[in-house]
Structure 1
Amino acid sequence: MAADTTTQKKRGVLFDVDGTLIDSSYFHAMAWWQAFRREGLDIEISAIHRRVGMGGDRLIQSLVPDCSEDMQEDLKSAHGAVFSTFWPTLRTFESVRDLLAACSDAGLAVGLASSAQERDLEVSRHLLDAGSSIDAWTSSNDAKESKPAPDILEACLEKLGLSPEDVVFVGDAVWDVKAGSAIGIPVIALTCGGISEAELRDAGAAEVYDNPRHLLENLETSMIGKLMAGSRGA
């Protein structure tokens, strides 16, 4: 299905991609660290990692409040260039394809609510190799404001033809939880992106699992399982 067509499915699951389905959070942190160093900015990589999942503009503003527009563009360009060198290293987390297929086979619409750059998203979609399990996807081109604003989730919902009350969002960052909460979408959080369960629950996550495999093992009793049961009964 093309990324801009709606589905006839009544319920769905939105998935963040980086740090949730693809093991890339620390590579993004390293790419930002190198980008800052190129501009003579010595920022601790731990501080960067805690902000991965924000949009690049918000991440930069949070770490360098007085950053000029020109420097911000240079930083984003450098991050993209460095991150692309990590593409051959990227891998999906264990059981990702099985998780996406289980959701799809149960009658749920599956959307990739990603705010990645289009070229990075294409690499991720190739890695996922999930075929018809994915009904729609988004990139940074689909949102005016980046996470924790909910724009990218709203864009994915529109493409699926669903409403917030029809879906669950799966992410790995505090910013994912905040974005979902902003429009009333319950969020299942995964700690595989490097953020602790306590932080994710404090942000408002409804459920927390270690990784996609752990979620898949508990799928029937999770919030996704409830959506699956509702879909079967519809």
Structure 2
Amino acid sequence: MVEAVLFDVDGTLVDTTYLHAVTWWQAFRQQGHVVAMAKIHRAIGMGSDKLLDQVLPGGRDRDADDAMRDAHTALYAQYWGRLRAFDGAADLLRACKGRGKRVVLASSAAEPEMRALRAALDAEDAIDETTSASEVGQSKPAPDIVELALERAGVPAARAVFVGDTAWDVEAAERVGVPCVGVLTGGWARDELEAAGAVAVFDDPRDLLEKLEKSPLH
């Protein structure tokens, strides 16, 4: 029986993937790096440390890395007041909570950004616990966030399900032994998520909500 549902937030519950992509693109340009937007998109979902290694491999100056991170944070923060949750996202959280499951937001966002994401979700009554970047050593696809979310949920891996939108989510959950359900809202294809190991894939939170009783979350 599933006793807890762990949710990625960026790109899964709140429509942020392409905002992150474009603000990283701008941050890279500020430091003289011209990077194709598609390449950046494929790294969204990783933490900034791993994203930089993925997008800009090779030796880099630490000060320049910090400048790009700071620029991305500042550029992305301009959108915080306009973030929107996907259709059905809040209802999905409430449906899980109403069925007696622990609901944990397993995000590697920093605390100020997390507040903006929670405001966009507007589902505080359904959220039991959250995580943030400052609480773990490594970001996804490392399993640290999922491990912490499990700890906060207070259930073993076999009684939890993770919901995410990227192959990085699937990998992180798999490394902890938690099955991962995918949604297509982050721009990854169904067959890519399935090939990564997702146990089921749905179009979006509304689709998952409508099929909840037959999904791995039930």
What TM-score, normalized by structure 2, do the two folds share? 0.97
Contact 1:31 1:79 in 2 (8 A): yes
Give, as a single letter, the amino acid of the residue that structure 1 aligns with 2:101: L
Q: What's the counterpart of residue 20 of structure 2?
A: 28
Residue 40 of structure 2 corresponds to residue 48 of structure 1? yes
SS at match of 1:168: strand
Pairing of 1:113-132 with structure 2 (within 5 A): 113-132=106-125
Choose from 146, 149, 165 the match for 1:172: 165
Question: 1:132 deviation in Å?
Answer: 2.1
Equivalences, count: 216
Q: What's the counterpart of residue 90 of structure 2?
A: 97
What TM-score, normalized by structure 1, do the two folds share? 0.90
Question: 1:164 deviation in Å?
Answer: 1.0
Pairing of 1:1-234 with structure 2 (within 5 A): 11-65=3-57, 66-225=59-218
CA distance in 1, matches of 2:146, 2:134: 13
CA distance in 1, matches of 2:181, 2:94: 18
CA distance in 2, matches of 1:30, 1:72: 17
Runs (4+) of structure 1 exceeding 4 A deviation are none
Question: 1:73 deviation in Å?
Answer: 0.9
Give, as a single letter, the amino acid of the residue that structure 1 aligns with 2:196: A
Mind listing any 5+ residue stretches in structure 1 that lack a counterpart? Answer: 1-9, 226-234
CA distance in 2, matches of 1:189, 1:160: 20
Mind listing any 5+ residue stretches in structure 2 that lack a counterpart? Answer: none
Give, as a single letter, the amino acid of the residue that structure 2 aligns with 1:27: L
SS at match of 1:192: helix
Give, as a single letter, the amino acid of the residue that structure 1 aligns with 2:15: D
Contact 2:81 2:116 in 1 (8 A): no
Give, as a single letter, the amino acid of the residue that structure 2 aligns with 1:21: L
Question: 1:88 deviation in Å?
Answer: 2.7
SS at match of 2:201: strand
CA distance in 2, matches of 1:96, 1:134: 12
- Using the aligned pairs only, state the percent identity: 45
SS at match of 2:45: coil
Contact 1:26 1:49 in 2 (8 A): yes
CA distance in 2, matches of 1:122, 1:163: 27
CA distance in 2, matches of 1:142, 1:163: 20
Question: 1:142 deviation in Å?
Answer: 1.4
Question: 1:160 deviation in Å?
Answer: 1.8
Q: What's the counterpart of residue 228 of structure 1?
A: none
